[in-house]
Amino acid sequence: MRTGQDTRSNGASGTATARPRLLLFHSQVSGRCRRVDGFLAQVLQRRANHATFELERIEAEEKPDVHESFGIDALPTLVVVEGGRIRGRIVDPGGCKAIERFLAPWLR
């Protein structure tokens, strides 16, 4: 459950943002990762939540250091970062329903 509002500065303009970051840790060579990316797009589109998150896709092959810093052991993994802290994590979600349940506290 979300409490309060994230008032972090976005750095460049110094304005506050309330949008949590949704990180998709994945690999382009994985069919499972591509499917989960599609499931995520469906969930955000279906619920008209395109602007709810600042979505970032982080490839294992391109940024292994970022994967390591978040303790990612399996792909795909979704992580929600809000207020500078990890608020949720789901490894290899089974489909749209699993992603929707995971993101429910933030979805409209």
Segment 6-37, tens digit of pLDDT: 333 344 444 455 799 999 999 999 999 999 99
Residue 16's pLDDT is what? 53
Which H, E and C letters describe the chain, residue by residue?
Answer: CCCCCCCEECCCCCCEECCCEEEEEECCCCHHHHHHHHHHHHHHHHCCCCCCCEEEEEECCCCHHHHHHCCCCCCCEEEEEECCEEEEEEECCCCHHHHHHHHCCCCC
| Residue (of 37, 23, 44, 51) closest to 93 by Cα position | 37
Domains and CATH numbers, the chain: 20-103 (3.40.30.10)
Sign of torsion, CA 50 53 59 60?
A: negative
Output 12 or 79, whichever has higher pLDDT: 79
**Mean pLDDT in residue range 37-59:** 92
Q: How does the average pLDDT of the chain come out, rounded?
A: 87
Q: How far is CA 4 from the centre of its chain?
A: 19
pTM of the model: 0.82
pLDDT band of residue 1 (cuts 50, 70, 90) is: very low
pLDDT above 70: percentage of residues in the chain = 83
